[in-house]
Structure 1
Amino acid sequence: MPFDNENVHNAAAILAAGTSLAGPQKSPLNDGVPFVVVPEGYKVEHLFERDESPARATGVVKLRDANSFITYFNRQKRTESLIYASLDPAKILGVIDDHLAYDDALSGDHSAKGANWRAYRVEFAVPASREWKTWTGKDRQPMTQLELAELIEDNLPDIVSPDGSTMLSVALNFEASKEGNFVSATRLQDGSTNFVWKEDVNATGNKIAMPSQITLSIPVFENGAPYSVDARIKYRVQNGTLKIWYELVRPHKVLEAAFRAIWSQIEDQTATKILLGSPE
Structure 2
Amino acid sequence: MIRPLASLALGAAFAAVAVSAAPRVAAPAATPFRVGAVEVVSLRDAKNVVANDGQTFGIGHPTADVAAVLRARGAPADPITLGVDQLLVRLPGRVVLIDSGFGAKMNGVLVRSLAAAGVTPDQVTDVLITHGHPDHVGGLVDANGKPAFPRATMRMSAPEWQSLQQGRAAAVAPVIKAQVKTFAPGAQVMPGITAVALPGHTPGHSGYRISSGKQSLLVIGDTAHSAIVSLAEPAWRIQYDGDKQQGARTRERELAQLAATHQRIFAGHFPYPGIGYVVRSGAGYAFQPEQR
Larger Rg: 1
Give the TM-score of the pair, scaled to structure 1: 0.20
Which structure carries more helix by proportion? Answer: 1
